[in-house]
Chains A and B, each alone.
Chain A
Amino acid sequence: QKEVEQNSGPLSVPEGAIASLNCTYSDRGSQSFFWYRQYSGKSPELIMSIYSNGDKEDGRFTAQLNKASQYVSLLIRDSQPSDSATYLCAVGKTSYDKVIFGPGTSLSVIP
C-alpha cells in the first residue's frame, strides 16, 4: 500500500463549480497534512495546512481532515480556469520526519 494516495485524474470541472480532491494516507501516526498546488513547469506552492479533525477554510479553499478514516480532502469553491494545476497532498509526522507527497491530482477547470 502506498503511503499517500490520490486519484491521478485528470479531474475536469466547469468554471464556477466545486472541485473536490481526495487523499488517503496509511500511517496512523501522521499529524500534519498539507495541500500544494503545482502549475506545469513550476514549483509546488503551499495552499493549505491542517492538523486537527474537521474543516479549515481559507477563501475559496476548504481542507477537511478525518484522522479516523485516514482521509484528507480539498474543496475548491467557484473554480476558476486559473485553478487548473496539479494538486499534491502531503502528510508528515513529527517535525523532523519526512513529509510524504502523494502522486498528485490534475485538475482542469473548463471555461
Chain B
Amino acid sequence: DTAVSQTPKYLVTQMGNDKSIKCEQNLGHDTMYWYKQDSKKFLKIMFSYNNKELIINETVPNRFSPKSPDKAHLNLHINSLELGDSAVYFCASTANPSGLYDYGYTFGSGTRLTVV
C-alpha cells in the first residue's frame, strides 16, 4: 500500500488551462503539505493543512488553491496555468507531534507539471 499517493504522476497542459492534483495518505497523519520543486531542485513550501485547517499559506499566487476535504486528502487546484508553473509538485504528510519536535515528512512520488 502506498503511504502517500499523488495523481496524476505527469501532467502536460497548455497555458491558461485549469488543472488539479490530488493527494491521499493512509498513514493516519494529521498534517499534510504541498511543496514545489523547481528546475534547480529547490523544495519550497506552498501550503500546509492540519486536520483540514489551513495553517501555512506561503506567498503563492492566488491561482493556486488548496482544498482538504478530510485529513487524509489534500488537493491542489491551479487556475490559468503559466509557463513558470512548470515544476514537480510534492505532497507530504507528517504525524501530529505531541511536543515541539517534528517526526519528518513522508513524501508522495510527485506530480511533474509541464505547461506548454
Instruction: Name A's B-contacting residues (CB within 8 A).
Output: 31-32, 34, 38, 42-46, 49, 51, 86, 88, 92, 94-101, 103-104
Contact = CB atoms under 8 A, between A and B. Distances in A.
Given A32-B101, A95-B97, A98-B48, A42 B109 contact: yes
17 contacts: A42-B109, A42-B110, A43-B109, A44-B43, A46-B105, A46-B106, A49-B103, A94-B100, A95-B97, A96-B55, A98-B45, A99-B45, A100-B45, A101-B35, A101-B42, A103-B40, A104-B41
Nearest to A92: B102
A95 B101 contact: yes
Nearest to B46: A98
A31 B43 contact: no
A49 B103 CA distance: 8
B96 interface: yes
Given A43-B109, A95-B99, A96-B55, A34 B45 contact: no
B102 A32 contact: yes
B107 A45 contact: yes
A94 B102 CA distance: 7
What is the interface residue range for chain B against chain A? 20 to 34
Contacts of A101: 35, 42-44
Contact of A43 (B101, B103, B108): B108
B107 A103 contact: no
Given A38-B41, A95-B99, A97-B56, 16 more contacts: A31-B100, A31-B101, A32-B100, A32-B101, A32-B102, A42-B110, A43-B109, A49-B103, A88-B43, A94-B100, A96-B55, A98-B45, A98-B56, A99-B45, A101-B43, A104-B42
Given A49-B103, A49-B104, A95 B96 contact: yes
Given A95-B99, A96-B50, A99-B105, A43 B110 contact: yes
